[in-house]
Amino acid sequence: ETGVTQSPTHLIKTRGQQVTLRCSSQSGHNTVSWYQQALGQGPQFIFQYYREEENGRGNFPPRFSGLQFPNYSSELNVNALELDDSALYLCASTFHRDRYGYTFGSGTRLTVV
Amino acid sequence: DQQVKQNSPSLSVQEGRISILNCDYTNSMFDYFLWYKKYPAEGPTFLISISSIKDKNEDGRFTVFLNKSAKHLSLHIVPSQPGDSAVYFCAAAADSSYKLIFGSGTRLLVRP
**Span A85-98, pLDDT tens digits:** 999 999 999 887 77
pLDDT of residue A95: 84
CA angle B96–B99–B100, rounded 5-degree value: 115
Give the pLDDT mean for B54-74. Answer: 97
Write the DSSP symbol of residue B83: G
pLDDT of residue A72: 85
pLDDT of residue B41: 86
- Are β-strands A10-13 and A108-112 bridged in parallel, bridged antiparallel, or unpaired? parallel
The tens digit of pLDDT for each residue in B79-93 reads 999 999 999 999 999
User: Under an 8 A CB cutoff, do A104 and B4 touch?
Assistant: no
Question: What is the Rg, in whole angstroms, of the alpha carbon atoms belonging to chain A?
Answer: 13
**A80 to chain B, minimum CA–CA distance in Å?**
25
**B10 to chain A, minimum CA–CA distance in Å?**
11
Write the DSSP symbol of residue A26: P
Q: Report whether pLDDT(B23) > 60.
A: yes
Q: Is B37 exposed, middle or buried (0-12, 13-18, 19+ CB in 10 A)?
A: buried
pLDDT of residue B78: 97
Tell me which residue in B93, B99, B104 faces A40 most closely, judged by beta carbons: B104
User: Under an 8 A CB cutoff, do B105 and A42 touch?
Assistant: yes
For residue A40, the chain B residues in CB contact (below 8 A) are 104
